[in-house]
């Protein structure tokens, strides 16, 4: 086991795993399981509003669709394609079950952090809204040290997770699909990213608003075709997901087996990476939305987790498990021998699964989806990192230097080893999540009260 693996495992298993699940359970129970029993309300507020004519705010903030698209850009990015494949490879099919659990519990956590982000946001000098966990830590709790901790690791996570992971997945996918040089891919991606992020959150929101719906529908359509062809294998895949998640040691012979601990560790960690509920990052995008009711924006937090994990990630997982390209014994053997290479895991595994139906177009299809997903994700994470740095320094003076560093690490991530890059992402995300989980627990009474009063008011109007 490498040093990065030991650090990641020591942080996540069992401490952060338990913290995410317990906080989500706490909010869900105290909130009366609102994501389930308030299904009609949050769907009406979110999906229903997308079907009605959109109203553009008078301020300089983002529309709710732009805020959602920016947040979804960073959530349904490479974690939904490469991340799910990585979780299955290292944690077994049971990891998918724990991704579902983290999503079901994370819906309420995501709702709370978006609600608090709008409650404690502030106007910037240019008239736009700015906020996030650092604001509700300082202004809601009076705990500036906690806010500094969050902001410091927010900057680190934007580079280690939001930057390098996305770049690595793009470069790996294009290398396997077309044989393109990974360094060249990294340089070109950095140039394109730089053009957009120079325009700030406004341009990021506009680009995300156009990219996210197209890329999500494209991926779901492709996944639907593959699953239709492998429909007979779906019941068996679902059975493996549930049984291996709850089996202490899923032995395959020779003493090998993933076990429940590995399934939980990679399932919850990857679920958090894809839906970001409790991480605090996407709350910064929602804080920029032009909305008057904090809890109304919280409904988009529920919708965001639902789409990112329960829809997109499930399609990816079932495509991999029904296609036959994933072999547990081979994966475990490679892990134990330390012989895992980029062709066995991540986007390459997803591409192989799609290729069982799409043929030679499987690799290009996954590469195109990853390119769109990861590019939009890079835009969102660059903004999160800037927000963290702005809070730490109290000025925009260092924004230009941060953007250069972000683009430089993007190139570095494109040529990095995929396993190491994902381990770095887990460590950065974990250190960023810790202060946010503490703040969400301490502010739970206020967040739940805001959600309850808003829901009662809306029910009275219906």
Residue 342 confidence (pLDDT): 66
Q: Is 230 left (phi over 0), alpha (psi -120 to 50) or beta?
A: alpha
Is there a contact between 359 and 325 (Cβ–Cβ < 8 Å)? no
Give the CATH number for residue 213. Answer: 1.20.1740.10
The two three-digit tokens of residue 220, written as one number: 């779901």
| Distances from the Cα of 183 to the Cα of 174, 342, 407, angstroms | 11, 15, 13
Q: What angle do CA 381, 383, 388 make, to 5 degrees?
A: 95
Whole-angstrom distance, CA of residue 160 vs CA of residue 181: 22
How many CB atoms sit inside 10 A of residue 14's CB?
12
From residue 92, alpha-carbon distances to 25, 208, 247, 326 in Å are: 24, 33, 11, 10
pLDDT 10s digits, 51-109: 665 554 455 566 767 777 777 766 676 678 877 888 898 888 999 999 999 899 999 99
- Identify the H or E element spanning 232: none
CA distances from 51 to 157, 206, 297, 298 (A): 35, 19, 17, 19
**How high is the pLDDT of residue 261?**
75
Residue 255 pLDDT: 46
Question: What tens-digit pLDDT sequence spans the chain (462 residues)?
Answer: 577 778 877 887 778 878 888 999 999 999 999 999 999 999 988 888 776 655 544 555 667 677 777 777 666 766 788 778 888 988 889 999 999 998 999 999 999 999 999 999 998 877 778 899 999 999 999 999 999 999 999 998 898 777 887 888 788 778 877 888 999 999 999 999 998 888 777 788 788 778 888 888 999 999 999 999 999 999 999 998 998 887 765 544 444 556 777 788 788 877 776 777 888 988 998 898 888 899 999 999 999 899 888 999 999 999 999 998 988 888 887 887 877 776 677 778 888 999 999 998 888 898 888 788 888 888 888 989 999 999 999 888 888 899 999 999 999 888 877 667 667 777 888 888 999 999 999 999 999 999 999 999 888 877
pLDDT at 442: 97
The total number of structural domains in the chain stands at 1
Prior bond of 14 cis (ω within 30°)? yes
Q: Report the alpha-carbon distance of residue 91 to residue 357 in Å, rounded.
A: 25
pLDDT digits (tens, 9 = 90+) for 249-284: 554 444 455 677 778 878 887 777 677 788 898 899
What's the CA gap between 82 and 85, in Å, rounded? Answer: 5
- Rg of the chain over Cα atoms, rounded to whole angstroms, equals 21
pLDDT at 57: 47
Q: Are the beta carbons of 276 and 307 closer than 8 angstroms?
A: no
Q: Please state, in angstroms and rounded to a whole number, the distance separating the CA atoms of residues 453 and 172.
A: 48
- List, in order, residues 6 or more apart from 440 with CB less than 8 Å away: 23, 27, 109, 112, 113, 116, 278, 447
Q: How far does the chain reach from its first CA to its final CA, in angstroms?
A: 57
- Domain of 332? 3-51+59-461
Cβ–Cβ under 8 Å, residues 454 and 194? no
Return the pLDDT at 52.
Answer: 65
Q: What is the pTM of this model?
A: 0.85
Contacts of 187-194 spanning 24+ positions with Cβ under 8 A: 187/411, 189/375, 189/378, 189/410, 189/414, 190/407, 190/408, 190/410, 190/411, 192/375, 193/375, 193/378, 193/379, 193/382, 193/406, 193/407, 193/410, 194/403, 194/407
């Amino acid at each position: 086991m490498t040093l990065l693996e030991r650090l990641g495992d020591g942080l996540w298993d069992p401490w952060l795993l338990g913290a995410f699940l317990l906080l989500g359970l706490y909010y869900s129970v105290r909130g009366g399981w609102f994501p389930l029993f308030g299904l009609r309300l949050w769907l009406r507020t979110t999906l229903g509003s997308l079907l009605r004519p959109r109203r553009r705010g008078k301020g300089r903030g983002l529309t709710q669709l732009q805020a959602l698209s920016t947040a979804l850009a960073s959530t349904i990015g490479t974690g939904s394609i490469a991340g799910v494949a990585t979780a299955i490879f290292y944690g077994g099919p049971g990891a998918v079950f724990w991704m579902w659990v983290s999503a079901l519990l994370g819906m309420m956590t995501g709702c709370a952090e978006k609600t608090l982000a709008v409650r404690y946001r502030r106007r910037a000098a240019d008239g736009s809204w700015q906020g996030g966990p650092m604001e509700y830590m300082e202004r809601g709790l009076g705990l500036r040290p906690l806010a500094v901790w969050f902001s410091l690791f927010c900057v680190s996570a934007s580079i280690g997770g939001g930057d390098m992971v996305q770049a690595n997945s793009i470069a790996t996918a294009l290398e396997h699909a077309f044989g393109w040089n990974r360094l060249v891919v990294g340089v070109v991606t950095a140039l394109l990213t730089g053009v957009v992020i120079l325009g700030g959150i406004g341009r990021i929101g506009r680009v995300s608003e156009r990219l996210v719906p197209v890329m999500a529908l494209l991926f779901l359509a492709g996944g639907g075709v593959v699953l239709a062809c492998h429909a007979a294998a779906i019941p068996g895949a679902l059975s493996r997901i549930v049984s291996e998640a709850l089996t202490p040691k899923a032995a395959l012979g020779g003493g090998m087996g993933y076990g429940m601990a590995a399934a939980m560790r990679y399932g919850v960690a990857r679920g958090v990476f894809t839906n970001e509920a409790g991480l605090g990052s996407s709350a910064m995008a929602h804080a920029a939305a032009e909305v008057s009711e904090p809890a109304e924006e919280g409904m988009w937090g529920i919708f965001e987790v639902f789409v990112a994990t329960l829809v997109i990630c499930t399609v990816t997982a079932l495509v991999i498990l029904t296609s036959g390209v994933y072999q547990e014994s081979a994966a475990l053997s490679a892990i134990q021998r330390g012989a895992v290479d980029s062709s066995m895991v991540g986007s390459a595994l997803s591409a192989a699964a799609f290729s069982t139906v799409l043929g030679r177009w499987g690799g290009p299809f996954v590469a195109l989806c990853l390119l769109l997903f990861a590019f939009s994700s890079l835009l969102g994470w660059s903004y999160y990192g800037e927000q963290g740095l702005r809070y730490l320094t109290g000025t925009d003076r260092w924004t230009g230097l941060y953007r250069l560093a972000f683009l430089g690490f993007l190139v570095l991530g494109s040529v990095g080893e995929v396993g190491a890059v994902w381990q770095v992402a887990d460590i950065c995300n974990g250190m960023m999540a810790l202060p946010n989980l503490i703040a969400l627990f301490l502010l739970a009474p206020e967040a739940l009260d805001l959600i309850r009063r808003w829901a009662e008011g809306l029910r009275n109007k219906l």
